[in-house]
Structure 1
Amino acid sequence: PHSQALKKVFSENNEIQKTLDEDFIVLNLVYETTDKHLSPDGQYVPRIIFVDPTMTVRADITGRYSNRMYAYETGDIKLLITNMQKAKKLLKSEL
């Protein structure tokens, strides 16, 4: 249910769509991964993790929930956009 609601908000938000298309590689997992790096704080869905060019999970870019650090809900879209912008700025300074 949360995944579908978030997917709907993503598809309706032009800013997110443009940013994802131009600046990010998106990996949508249908099944839970066994890679502990992609589930640093547990296995739950949906979760959005930013990974830098060195394949390191950006632990400093998180959502607002302390028990699900990489969770975003439909009301968190502004925070997600802010975090996407933060990831882009850091990426450009790292290159």
Structure 2
Amino acid sequence: MERSYVSVLLLLIVISCALAKDVGKKDSKDTTTKPKLPQTLSRGWGDQLIWTQTYEEALFRSKHSQKPLMIIHHLEDCPHSQALKKVFAEHKDIQKLAEKFILLNLVYETTDKNLAPDGQYVPRVLFIDPSLTVRADITGRYSNRLYAYEPSDISLLYSNMQKALKLLKTEL
């Protein structure tokens, strides 16, 4: 009888040790994965850039700094938005040029209907000059979604950013 108790006890010890090793492995895997950083205003569009929190703040800063405002409408669960964000964030020239803008990325629609001149879709990029005029003349390549950009349109977006800055200089 005593022998059976010892056998059961040894069996429990072996099982406990095996389970403890599995738990230890899971914990060590968790420490090797990249820790999730807290969400910033950039939402991944360029963490080194200065982003505004609200549309009203962006308008104020644009008017007072005399810099154009670039607004990116997107959704976190939209594959098109995610693809454009990845290309935008990795494009060194765009990141450098973006420093000359007041930047705002929105995951919600504003009450200003001027920010949806041809409808509410994502991703959508609009430029506003410091006089608070939406530059409806700076468009992407699609006739049915004038302000939409795909990852393959990144050079057009860069060109339109340059155009927004150039228009600002000619108007001053």
Please give the TM-score of this superposition, normalised by the length of structure 1. 0.94
Give unpaired runs (5+ residues) of structure 1. none
Q: Does 1:92 align with 2:92?
A: no
Name the SS of the counterpart of 2:104 in structure 1. coil
1:73 match: 150
The within-5 A match list for 1:4-83 is 4-21=82-99, 23-83=100-160
Higher relative contact order (CA 8 A, sep 6+): 1
Amino acid at match of 1:14: K
What is the CA-CA distance between 1:33 and the residue it aligns to?
Answer: 2.0
Please give the TM-score of this superposition, normalised by the length of structure 2. 0.53
The structure where strand makes up a greater share of residues is 2
Q: RMSD of aligned C-alpha atoms?
A: 0.8
Aligned residues: 94
Tell me, in whole angstroms, the C-alpha distance in 2 between the residues paired with 1:16 and 1:68: 22
Structure whose alpha-carbon radius of gyration is higher: 2
Amino acid at match of 1:24: F
